Structure 1
Amino acid sequence: MNAPHHLRPLLTDCEDITWFRDQPEAARGAAAALGRRIALGEHRTGQLVLAVAELATNTAKHAVDGSLLLRVLRTPDVAGVEVLAVDNGPGMPDVTDALRDGMSTKGTLGIGLGAVQRLADTFAIHSQPGIGTVQLARFWPHPPPEAAKAEPAVAGITRALGGQDVCGDAWAVRADTGEDSAAEPAGDRRRERSDDLSGAPLSWSALTATRPATPRPPSPEPTGVSRRIPLVRAATLGPGRSILVMACDGLGHGPMAALAAQAAVQAFRTGAARSPEQAMEQIHRSLRGTRGAAVAVARIEPDGRVLFCGVGNITAALVTATNRTTLFSHPGIVGHQMSRLRTLENHLPARGALVMHSDGLSERWTAADLAPLLHHPPALIAAGLLRHAGTRRDDASVVIAKGGW
């Protein structure tokens, strides 16, 4: 029997992702075009444009290293527009005061953040003086479907390397209904693994010409990290509707990296795999002929049990306000060379989050860095972590899963 619709975690897909820096007019035009394209409605599109203008002008005039992200969100039933405004300072000493009517930063359209909050179906803000502000506003057609009123259980954010038009990082999420579909015969999986183990290992530098051939020394682990996580040869899948989350970093950057990432997303979304290992094997076959990628897949069970399988330099961790537990990934390059896969089994703590990100972010963040953000929606957490740990030397991506099960 299917679970009642209101008990299912909301999952969304993202498309038409565009970043703007010091471009209020361009952001307004893009918002208007998105609203028209997804049939948001003339009145609702006007409200979206007004909110984007306030956020973009605020960011351009008064933020430090500010940027604004526009993208389309899709559920099976409806499409909407999500806006994320991110900056590194100066921050707001009193967020409640900033949201009062009549409070608008000098030089903006004058509607104020309080009006943006009222216009949006979802509005969230996190600000710390001297650190910066992250804001999220989401717009659905009115009246929005009941399912769209929930907060997505999983959200990610991607940002291309400066000067690049495409991003070689990607993420995706899909539901597993709990029905055992014939993903592939066990014999095919055994042959696949046997092929993966043959031949000499391939180096990162040989494939990308951008990565050092010698391994980097490991970074010091943040306080609170625990690596005592059981490895299981073949994890048993639990009953009920689960969530599968994938993070992918195509090797290098630019169009060829983006091609590998897109192939991984397509294989993940269309594949019948229920376990992370099966999903990794399907993605591995799909990436042959591309430059390959680092990939991680997590399965979150209804009771919070997490099954994880990763290959390459995707950082994954279970995070609470006081602890960060890092999940181990196997060495290799998906699409070229994988060692025998194993699954990690752990449990998502109450009020915690699963975090996965590419090496476009430094690993040197701690649970304390994320603690002030954990009560916010996953998209705002992802944007906040990207602001804090993003390196700008590579494509970057973060995906966050929390709540909803």
Structure 2
Amino acid sequence: MNPPDVGATVEAEDVVWLRLDTALGPVARREAARLARRVGMSASRVAEVELAVTEAATNLEKHARDGALALRVVTLPDRAAVELLSLDSGPGIQDLRSALVDGVSSSGTLGVGMGAIARSADTFDVYSVPGSGTALLARFWSGRGGDEAAVAEPAVAGLTRPISGESVCGDGWSARTEMREGGLVVTAMLCDGLGHGPLAALASERARAAFRANAHRSPEEILRALHLQLKGTRGAAVSVARADFSRGSVESCGVGNINVCVVRGDKRHALLSLPGIVGHQVPRLRTFQGQLDPSSVLVLHSDGLSDRWSPADFPGLFRRRPAVIAGHLLGQAGVRRDDAGIVVARAVAS
């Protein structure tokens, strides 16, 4: 696999969330086609995306206890993709290898159509825990002009979900990846605008703009710049973390209830955040430091996810692609009574 794309800023895209109900298939197909045309896909490629999304929706309707599809456009400097995440809370897949064979299905599995999705997608990944839940990722790049476009995996992925009843999310994220001295460096920001709805989303929009202008600076300097830009808004909880995988170090500066941690093996190591509200009142800022190894995973999430999750509950998850990690954690630990946001970064893509 080629190395992750570096030297660019990526950030939160609009996510179409479709919960499991009787109209899921037709609605998902229509939304997927709209996004595929938006990124300039050919008619034949649009049809492939429609088929894959319809298969994923059918699987949820037939087999999942509860779940949702998330559809969005993912952009890199020179290309764009339609990304599908299928998330459910169970029952999980007993035999994942067999489920990927076309036409194989048994009670309690999501087997029908998974082989077709994997075959048509440029990027495919699935993680499942029997008795728990499943996260399926399928990414379809526009153009399909070369092998690199088909296999490149972003080193960082994020996902947001609005509180039930709102169309916009008050959580937002941005991240920058770059190469330094032969190793990957990821700088990530997660903002949780106070409250919900458009005014909370405005705070996150301003935070993303300030991050883009200051991403080359230290986490503490970035947070200070965000504090100035968020004045006049509701304010927000914000954390900025920089993971330097070449040096094996991570540093974080945060204010408010954003969880920042490093996952190593089946343990997670938290980096502290300070009380306050960015844009209103912040204490004297401090930077907290931690250690990384090449297989470590950096995770930032808002209080829209419970902080009671443990890596030990998800064997093998943190060796998966960042988008799968983010989706499964949000699906398993997310709470519907609040906006939710999560960012995941890792140096080694599976």
What is the TM-score normalised by the length of structure 1?
A: 0.79
1:381 aligned to 2:325? yes
**Corresponding residue for 1:230?**
none
Give the residue type in structure 1 aligned to 2:326: A
Give the counterpart of 2:15 among 17, 31, 40: 17
Q: CA deviation at 1:15?
A: 2.2
Question: Shift of the alpha carbon at 1:241?
Answer: 6.3
The 10-residue stretch of structure 1 (149-158 or 7-16) with the greater mean CA deviation from structure 2: 7-16
Runs (4+) of structure 1 exceeding 3 A deviation are 5-14, 175-178, 238-241
1:135 aligns with 2:79: no
Which residue does the alignment assign to 2:208? Answer: 265
Which structure 2 segments of 5+ residues have no match?
none
Aligned residue for 1:374, secondary structure, equals helix
Supply the distance in 2 between the matched residues of 1:251 and 1:61 (Cα, whole angstroms). Answer: 38
Equivalent position to 1:353, from 297, 301, 309: 297
Judging changes above 3 Å, is the alpha-carbon distance between structure 1 residues 91 and 394 closer, same or farther for their aligned structure 2 residues?
A: same
Q: In the alignment, which residue of structure 2 is the partner of 1:217?
A: none
Secondary structure at the counterpart of residue 316 of structure 2: helix
- What is the CA-CA distance between 1:384 and the residue it aligns to? 1.1
Deviation at 1:61, TM superposition (A): 2.8
Partner of 1:275: 218
Q: Which residue of the partner structure matches residue 47 of structure 2?
A: 46
Alignment deviations for residues 53-104 of structure 1 (CA, whole Å, 9 cap, x no partner): 0001211232111100000000000111110000011111101111112225
Answer whether contact 2:186 2:345 (CA < 8 A) is retained.
no
Paired residue total: 339
Alignment of 1:124 with 2:137, yes or no, is no
RMSD: 2.3
Residue 162 of structure 2 corresponds to: 160
Instruction: Report the alpha carbon displacement of residue 151 of structure 1 after superposing the two structures with TM.
Output: 1.4
- 1:240 Cα offset (Å): 7.1
Instruction: Give the Cα–Cα distance (whole angstroms) in 2 for the partners of residues 115 and 319 of structure 1.
Output: 33
Are residues 89 and 100 of structure 1, via their aligned partners in 2, closer, same or farther at CA, if it must alter by over 3 Å?
same
Question: Secondary structure of 1:356's match?
Answer: strand
Structure 1 gap ranges (5+): 179-237
Counterpart position of 2:232:
289
Distance 1:112 1:177, change over 3 A: closer
Q: Quick one: distance in 2 between partners of 1:80 and 1:74?
A: 6
Secondary structure in structure 1 of the residue aligned to 2:239: strand
Name the CA distance, whole Å, in 2 between partners of 1:113 and 1:322: 29
Q: Distance in 2 between matches of 1:275 and 1:145?
A: 35
Structure 1 position 247 matched with structure 2 position 245: no
Q: Distance in 1 between matches of 2:225 and 2:182?
A: 22
Percentage identity across paired residues of the two chains: 50
SS in 1 for 2:174: strand
Q: 1:152 to 1:37 in 2, by over 3 A?
A: same
1:90-105 equivalent positions in 2, closer than 5 A? 90-103=91-104
Distance in 2 (alpha carbons) for counterparts of 1:392 and 1:112: 29
Q: Give the corresponding residue for 1:364.
A: 308
- The Cα offsets for residues 28-62 of structure 1, whole Å up to 9 and x where unpaired, read as 00110111111022111111110000001211232
Deviation at 1:318?
A: 0.7
Kept after mapping to 2: 8 A contact 1:78/1:145: no
Query: Cα deviation per residue 1:261-281 (whole Å; 9 max; x = unaligned)?
Result: 111111111335420011101
State the distance in 2 between where 1:105 and 1:88 align: 18
Report if aligned partners of 1:6, 1:147 keep a CA contact under 8 Å in 2: no
- Helix, strand or coil for the counterpart of 1:339? coil
1:272-331 residue CA offsets vs partner (Å, 9 max, x unmatched) = 542001110111111000000000001122333211111100011111222111100011
